[in-house]
């Protein structure tokens, strides 16, 4: 029988809060703080589609520049969404509203799908698998959390 030891050094330990304090910190705020320092490509948007947090790797993947520069920008305007045609034309507004981060907010349900983006002018288009979940503020949706993964061919 093998013996396994786990190290707890450097482990994330949530800050203890009293129930009264916890009600003033929304799920959106908690996830935004976590995403801002995450290694994984991810982002948080609010109900208006404004970027509240993006991980450094998520910002690089989507071509957003420095994460701090992306904050407060509308997601649909911050990233260059393109269609899946050979011409890679700009994604039209009705279709752009169906990308997983925005769809999770609007539908109040888990959303998953592919997004095609042109991260930096002159670079090849990139296909990204996106899984988004709505985040609650009280009993209402206050935004969405999206994890991103590049699709390699």
The DSSP-derived string for 52-75 is EEE-HHHHHHHT--SHHHHTTSBH
Predicted pLDDT at 7: 47
Residue 3 maps to a domain: no
Residue 8 maps to a domain: no
Residue 15 maps to a domain: no
Predicted pLDDT at 22: 52
The tens digit of pLDDT for each residue in 46-78 reads 999 999 999 999 999 999 999 999 999 999 899
Residue 130 maps to a domain: yes
Look up the domain containing 145 and give its range.
20-150
Below-70 pLDDT ranges, the chain: 1-24, 121
Residue 9 maps to a domain: no
Residue 53 maps to a domain: yes
Predicted pLDDT at 20: 53
Nearest to 119 by CA among 59, 77, 74: 59
Residue with tokens 């539908």: 107
Residue 65 maps to a domain: yes
CATH of the domain at 81: 3.30.450.20
Q: Residue 97 gets which letter from DSSP?
A: T
Predicted pLDDT at 120: 72
Residue 127 maps to a domain: yes
Task: Give how many domains the chain has, as a whole number.
Answer: 1
Predicted pLDDT at 25: 76
Predicted pLDDT at 16: 56
Q: Which long-range contacts (CB under 8 A, 24 or more apart) does 28-32 make?
A: 28/52, 28/135, 28/137, 28/142, 28/143, 31/135, 31/145
């Amino acid at each position: 029988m093998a013996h396994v030891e786990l190290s707890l050094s450097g482990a994330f330990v949530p800050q203890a809060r009293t129930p009264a304090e916890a009600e003033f910190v929304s799920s959106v705020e908690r996830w935004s703080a976590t995403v801002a320092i995450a290694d994984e490509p991810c982002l948080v948007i609010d109900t208006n589609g404004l970027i509240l947090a993006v991980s450094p790797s998520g910002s690089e993947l989507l071509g957003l520049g420095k994460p701090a520069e992306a904050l407060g920008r509308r997601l649909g305007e911050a990233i260059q969404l393109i269609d899946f045609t050979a011409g890679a034309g700009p994604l039209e507004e009705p279709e752009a509203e169906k990308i997983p981060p925005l769809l999770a907010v609007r539908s109040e349900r888990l959303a998953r799908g592919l997004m095609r983006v042109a991260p930096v002018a002159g670079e090849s288009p990139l296909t990204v698998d996106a899984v988004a979940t709505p985040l609650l503020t009280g009993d209402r949706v206050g935004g969405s959390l999206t994890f991103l993964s590049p699709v390699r061919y």
